[in-house]
Chains A and B, each alone.
Chain A
Amino acid sequence: MHSYRLTHLKELESESMHILREVAAQFENPALLFSGGKDSIVCFHLARKAFFPSRVPFPLVHVDTGHNFEETMTFRDDLVKEHGAKLIVGSVQDSIDQGKVQEETGYYASRNKLQTVTLLDTIEKHKIDCAIGGGRRDEEKARAKERVFSHRDEFGQWDPKMQRPELWNLYNGKKRPGEHFRAFPISNWTEMDVWQYILLENIPIPSIYFSHVREVFDRDGVIYANSISCA
């Protein structure tokens, strides 16, 4: 007799693949939110493994603020081409042009918050009933209390007090028309798990994760990239 024990990474992988398969089974039109960051790259890698030898059965959705790092965009396009994935792009600039959101002004102007409207519009336009995200519970306290299957009302709003019980590995994706779900397959991973898994599986990531020389400036203790395209 020999014991059959999974490493912590293989255990996390297995849980995530189960969640991704549950999404594919329970929803009609899921999509994977893809930012080009390490967490969504790992989610895509897990999806490829979960459905192999088939192709990943859902498209990638990128919400483009127009202020992305060039390296991330190149990486996204190469990945889509290499794996024959379908890519849907929601543009924050379009939302601004349509007058749905207003560009922030001043030194601290950011399009981060404006993304929500573009994301919800994209979900509605493409009739996505489950948007898979790479959020992890160790990232931030609002994400820490998030379910794996997270219910959103017909306005796309999250009510932390209106979530379903999540017992063992049973996920309840029942919803009314117009509502949708967010699913977080790597909820239980930590930042360290993600890096160790990237190393273990030899997953390519954008070059800006590695040390490089860049023009930066300091503000409030944060080092920002200085970019002409962001002026």
Chain B
Amino acid sequence: MRLKPEEKPRQMRVRFRTIGDMSCTGAVDSPASTLEEIIDEVATSRVTERGSRMDDKRSEAAMEDRKKEGYF
């Protein structure tokens, strides 16, 4: 992805909750490094899994529109 001039890359401890390709998947700020810790995190999270997916945020019906065309 191309960075905007004001966007500065930084090092951060993250993990991925959902994996798409790099242009549509966001990471979550998380220290969870075992399955047990991930389960605890998912149980208490207030955001759903696809909350970090840009492909769904393009419009209200982004997923339905893609599915109608034949998407996954």
Contact = CB atoms under 8 A, between A and B. Distances in A.
Interface of A: 33, 35-38, 65, 67-69, 72, 106-113, 115-116, 119-120, 133, 135, 138-143, 146, 152, 155-160, 182, 191-192, 195-196, 198-199, 206, 208-220, 222-227, 230-231
Nearest to B72: A133
- Size category of the binding interface on chain B: 35 or more
B50 A111 contact: no
Contacts of A214: 11-12, 14, 27
Contact of A115 (B22, B31, B39, B71): B71
15 contacts: A67-B22, A107-B4, A109-B1, A110-B24, A160-B64, A191-B42, A192-B39, A210-B33, A212-B14, A214-B27, A215-B12, A216-B11, A216-B14, A219-B4, A223-B14
Contacts, number: 179
B16 to A, nearest CB: 5
Interface in B15-58: 15-36, 38-39, 42-43, 48-50, 52, 54-57
B20 A35 contact: yes
B42 A33 contact: no
Nearest to B45: A191
Given A68-B22, A141-B63, A210 B15 contact: yes
